[in-house]
Structure 1
Amino acid sequence: MKRIVKYANALARLYGIVQFEKVVEIYNSQNKTKWTLEKAKIAIQADKEVLEKDFIYLHRDWIVHETVLEEDTFDELVVNQQSKSFYIPEQDKLLKYTNEFYAEETKEYRNLKEYITTEVVDGDSFIAERISENIRGHCLYGFSLDYALGEFSFEEAGFKSKDQMNKVAQLIIELANHTRIRENNGFTPIELHEQMLKSKPSLSDPLVIKKIGRNDTCPCGSGKKYKKCCLNKV
């Protein structure tokens, strides 16, 4: 499998859907050899059957993970991803996503699994890991706290107290907030929230208004100098 095809595979898993142009852009930013869009399309389309064995499909001008097509969420995902920047990991980490079972193991995931192991299932690490993996799946695809907590009932692992259930719920929420999701183009909810805060000016910061000079480009977008455009209209 050509490396450009591996990128298509990995990015479709990370984002759920990805356009050919984005695959080429990210590949070219991380590799010395460069691909044109036209040649990349030909190479990726030539390995269509290989990708499909890995549950990756070509759909319109997009490369799409099978679950998106099965759940009929393609159009919704396109809308949700609009105007959001892309999380782009380093090459070594990115290509790990070609593994169907790869998931970034965060501190929050380890905290949840450890608590379930020691406090809920009395040391049964196998059951704890299965519950934790399934909960991480809920965080990836349409998070619901009720459904996530339902994994304990499914495994017949009851809570010993209300406080214990509340503790698990808090750990699940922390995991969800630090899980990379498709709707955010691979960013975690907490990362996206931090980006939004940085992009908004603080109310405590003074508002600075720059005076437009006569020879400056006119702010109306005409491309003309201010004195020859809107100056006399003010």
Structure 2
Amino acid sequence: MEELLDYIIALTNLYGLVHKDKVVEIYNRQHGKKVDPAAVDALLQDPTQELEEEFVGVFGEHFVSQPILEEGAFGEELRKRKGKPFHVPPREELLRYRDDFYFEETPEYEALAGWLGENLFGGDMQPAELLCEEIQTVCQFDFQVLDVLELFNQEKVRFKDQAQLEEAVGLVGKLADNTRLGENNGLTPRELRRLQERRMV
């Protein structure tokens, strides 16, 4: 039961919302021992305190992150995901998403953090990493370039010229394009675009 709860929490953090059948499918694919669908149904009917503490709620046959429920956005969020394939990480990677602050540190993330440290923080990587984590969060939720520019303003980041600002924005764009999104069922925009292009061939 404990690992089933871990899966539900991790999948909800990764996807934002997940249908009970998808939980069973992914859990069974990654385990020799199969989970009884009735165990998942029981958690939908009577969520444990652990799920509530991890901000996992229930809507119908879905486990849903509490912010989506609180915003009354379930229907809209479900529509965003319709027809999109799922990114299912290997078991070890998937369970890292049990921590709702976890994100995959991609080469694009490392490139931006390194650039920020070298160009804006005089080689000091600690503030560069903190800023890069904030930018990563912006990229995960309805990314807009203006939101990142506003973040730079809030953090009192000063660019030496327009060219340096444009270089930073370019790196942020690459990070956003390679960030896993709940609305894409865990796929990055780049991965989803490639899958859609293959279908059109």
Which band: TM-score by shorter chain?
over 0.9
**Runs of 4+ deviating beyond 4 Å:** 43-47
The alpha-carbon deviation at position 47 of structure 1 amounts to 5.0
Residue 101 of structure 2 corresponds to which residue in structure 1? 101
Does 2:125 align with 1:125? yes
Per-residue Cα deviation, 1:177-228 (whole angstroms, up to 9, x for no partner): 0000011100000000110111112xxxxxxxxxxxxxxxxxxxxxxxxxxx
Residue 156 of structure 1 corresponds to which residue in structure 2? 156
Residue 16 of structure 1 corresponds to which residue in structure 2? 16
What is the correspondence of 1:55-204 to structure 2 with a 5 Å cutoff?
55-201=55-201
Contact 1:20/1:61, CA 8 A, preserved across alignment: yes
Contact 1:5/1:47, CA 8 A, preserved across alignment: no
CA RMSD across the alignment:
1.4
Contact 2:44/2:61, CA 8 A, preserved across alignment: no
May I ask how many residue pairs the two structures share in their alignment? 201
Q: Which has the higher contact order (CA 8 A, sep 6+)?
A: 2
Which deviates further from its counterpart, 85-94 or 36-45?
A: 36-45
Contact 1:5/1:44, CA 8 A, preserved across alignment: no
Larger Rg: 1
Measure the CA separation in 2 of the matches of 1:149 and 1:110: 20
Residue identity opposite 1:21 in structure 2: D
Residue identity opposite 1:13 in structure 2: N
Measure the CA separation in 2 of the matches of 1:172 and 1:71: 27
Contact 1:12/1:18, CA 8 A, preserved across alignment: yes
Contact 2:44/2:63, CA 8 A, preserved across alignment: no
Q: What TM-score do the two structures reach when normalised by structure 1?
A: 0.82
Measure the CA separation in 1 of the matches of 2:200 and 2:87: 20
Per-residue Cα deviation, 1:146-193 (whole angstroms, up to 9, x for no partner): 111222211111111100000000000000000000111000000001
Contact 1:24/1:35, CA 8 A, preserved across alignment: yes
Provide the identity percentage: 34
Which deviates further from its counterpart, 62-71 or 90-99?
A: 62-71
Determine which structure has the larger helix proportion and give its number: 2
Residue identity opposite 1:79 in structure 2: R
Contact 2:80/2:183, CA 8 A, preserved across alignment: yes
Measure the CA separation in 2 of the matches of 1:76 and 1:114: 37
Closer, same or farther in 2 for the Cα pair 1:87/1:146, shift >3 Å? Answer: same
Residue 204 of structure 1 corresponds to which residue in structure 2? none
Residue 28 of structure 1 corresponds to which residue in structure 2? 28
Structure 2 gaps of 5+ residues are none
Measure the CA separation in 1 of the matches of 2:101 and 2:137: 11
Q: What TM-score do the two structures reach when normalised by structure 2?
A: 0.95
Residue identity opposite 2:184 in structure 1: N
